[in-house]
Chains A and B, each alone.
Chain A
């Protein structure tokens, strides 16, 4: 779908590494170039035409994100540098001051490093206990397993909406219900889900939700932290400086501004925020449901074709997203990635920043195909053909 909108696709490539970062549509590039070429200005400081235009676009972006996430107020939207930044702000700006030693945080072994390591650091610093919910035989999280881990000590459930290797779509609405019923904070990593499936922070009763712009067809260097207003008002900034203070005096007195401005110290990534806003409008014009349907159909086709090749091992056939992890039997994943690059097919090899998942998969490294709206049946056919002919892999890569 919409391949003509993506300048990278003018090259003869098959791009299957969307879990790492996605390609960018021309409309997003144009919006950023327009800022740099025609109305460069800082925000909230200038009284000239370019600054007024930039202010309006920056403020509009918060509204665009709010509507996209179905949040109650644009004040619940904080611009960050990405999902990792957002998670660290939640853990060290909020949870550090709300949790007590012995409080439990539930995660899973399929979580990305950014959704595990901050919790482990807080475990060291504060004496909270981080526990992993066991995954089922398909390496997926089940509601039963999650519920079995909940105790009166459980204070946080912190999970990805869609995991980045297995690609299972967690039932976040059900998890949100369980969290609310048990007075547990629910933190959602939407890095792999936003732009792939509908994200509604109210339906999922999320306390906090984070994602990056660059995995959702948007720019690098920008992300979003959503938090419920009453929680954000208790969150402490991790960064202090210009733009976020009401006043400061030589006596040492200062006052920080209200949410969300207090969380955006210094000059924010203005061009990136404008680009993100434009790309969300682009995604909405296509429809997230249509993107999801397209990716799931393509994955089913890919799985059906790969099952015909005897030496291909699949790790997550059943998950309902555009993510498939596989290996050629007896071939190290990086060698497969180098081989596929020979045919201009871009996939990812490795542990995909989910280093705990090896305990469940019994393998450390896999090849990962991750799709987006512009992938086609022809892309899948090219990949399948290359894998069918992979008996000569070492003649090609060495």
Chain B
């Protein structure tokens, strides 16, 4: 992916994030996860609605850098409607891309915008932030 295209995707999702703003969850249908990490100042809440192995809805809110915010927005846009199994596949390939291991480029679509984030090692955790949240939530569901 060209650098200018990567920048355009990231800036667009940063400035116009998808599903930003938390929802009222009176019925308790969402799982809420906070990404406040010890090494980073990003602090994002993500709410997942997952039923019968399908991701029905995700929202997020919080304060975060351009990379975390855009990665969260793209992740949400990508995963709504996908099965948990498919989400695991995105997670595995996305992590592989960030950690410079072989991955399925075709699958990741707009998430390829972070394909060169390894060049800035201190930003890798920003790009991984929403997927770390996803992993925790999927693990929790499996454990239960």
Contacts and interface: CB of A to CB of B under 8 A. Distances in A.
Interface of B: 6-7, 10-11, 14, 40-43, 63-67, 69, 120, 122-123, 126
A394 B7 contact: yes
Interface size class of A (residues with CB under 8 A): 10 to 19
A364 B43 contact: yes
A333 interface: yes
Nearest to B40: A334
B63 A332 contact: yes
A395 B120 CA distance: 14
Contacts of B10: 394, 398
15 contacts: A332-B69, A334-B41, A334-B42, A334-B65, A335-B65, A338-B120, A338-B122, A338-B123, A364-B41, A394-B14, A395-B7, A398-B7, A398-B10, A398-B66, A398-B67
Contacts of B126: 334
Q: Which of A350, A364, A397 has the most CB of B within 10 A?
A: A397
A394 B7 CA distance: 7
B82 to A, nearest CB: 26
A88 interface: no
B20 to A, nearest CB: 14
Interface string A369-398: 000000000000000000000000011011
B38 to A, nearest CB: 12
A338 B67 CA distance: 11
Instruction: Classify the secondary structure of B's interface with A.
Output: helix
B69 to A, nearest CB: 8
Nearest to B7: A398
B47 to A, nearest CB: 20
Nearest to B43: A364
B17 to A, nearest CB: 12
Nearest to A336: B65
3 smallest A-B Cβ distances: which pairs?
A: A350-B41, A334-B65, A398-B7
Given A334-B65, A398-B66, A349 B41 contact: yes
Given A395-B7, A398-B6, A351 B65 contact: no
A191 to B, nearest CB: 20
A332 B7 contact: no
A364 B65 contact: no
B41 A394 contact: no
Contact of B63 (A365, A397, A398): A365
Interface string A321-348: 0000000000011110010000000000
B11 A394 contact: yes
A335 B66 contact: yes
Given A332-B66, A349-B41, 5 more contacts: A332-B69, A334-B40, A364-B41, A394-B66, A397-B66
Q: Which of A332, A333, A350 has the most CB of B within 10 A?
A: A332
Contacts of B67: 398
Interface in A347-367: 349-351, 364-365
Given A333-B41, A349-B41, A364 B7 contact: no
Nearest to A332: B65
A315 to B, nearest CB: 16
Contacts of B69: 332
Contacts of B7: 394-395, 398
Contact of A332 (B11, B64, B120, B122): B64
